[in-house]
Amino acid sequence: MQREDIARWAQEWIDWWNDRDIDAMLAHYREDVRFESPIAELVTGSALVEGKTALRTYWQRALERIRPAQFVLERTIYDPDTRELAIVYVAELDGRRTRVCELIAFDAAGRVIRSDAWYGACSHDRAATDAVAAFLAAALHDEAGGT
């Protein structure tokens, strides 16, 4: 992929999330995709989600619990040698903001084979970051049947 292709793909990825279009996202993922996230652990009991079907289920359950959600792209970093893309964005969830970085690995055909998500501070507002973390943990823990 060229730099222009990566920039376009990253913005489309953000747009798919903002539109809540899971089908558009998954059209670019391999059947044997591996996704890892601390939020996935709250929903599924495991930080690692394996396979497109399991990823669809996880994303559907997470999106049901998080309304409204808006992602704003900050920047991308791409390594053509490893075919890895880091998408850095701000997630605005129910009026709270947190910075997220997703590291996405592509196969030779340009399909996502692996993705890892990390969540962190945003705009030096520790209280807002803590509020987002608490909200996500509570919402997703409830969805997973926790007490």
DSSP 49-105: EESHHHHHHHHHHHHHHS-SEEEEEEEEEEETTTTEEEEEEEEEETTEEEEEEEEEE
Instruction: Please give the Cα distance from 66 to 93 (Å, whole number).
Output: 7
Tell me the pLDDT tens digit for each residue of 30-80: 999 999 998 888 888 899 999 999 999 999 988 887 776 789 999 999 999
Q: Return the residue matching tokens 């670019």.
A: 28
Burial (0-12, 13-18, 19+ Cβ within 10 Å), 19: exposed
Taking alpha carbons only, the member of 147, 140, 145, 146 closest to residue 42 is: 140
Tell me the pLDDT tens digit for each residue of 89-128: 998 877 778 899 999 999 999 999 999 999 886 555 555 5
Residues 106/83, Cβ–Cβ less than 8 Å: yes
The CATH number of 3-143 is which of 3.40.50.2300, 3.90.1570.10, 3.10.450.50, 3.40.50.920?
3.10.450.50
Q: Is the pTM of this model over 0.75?
A: yes
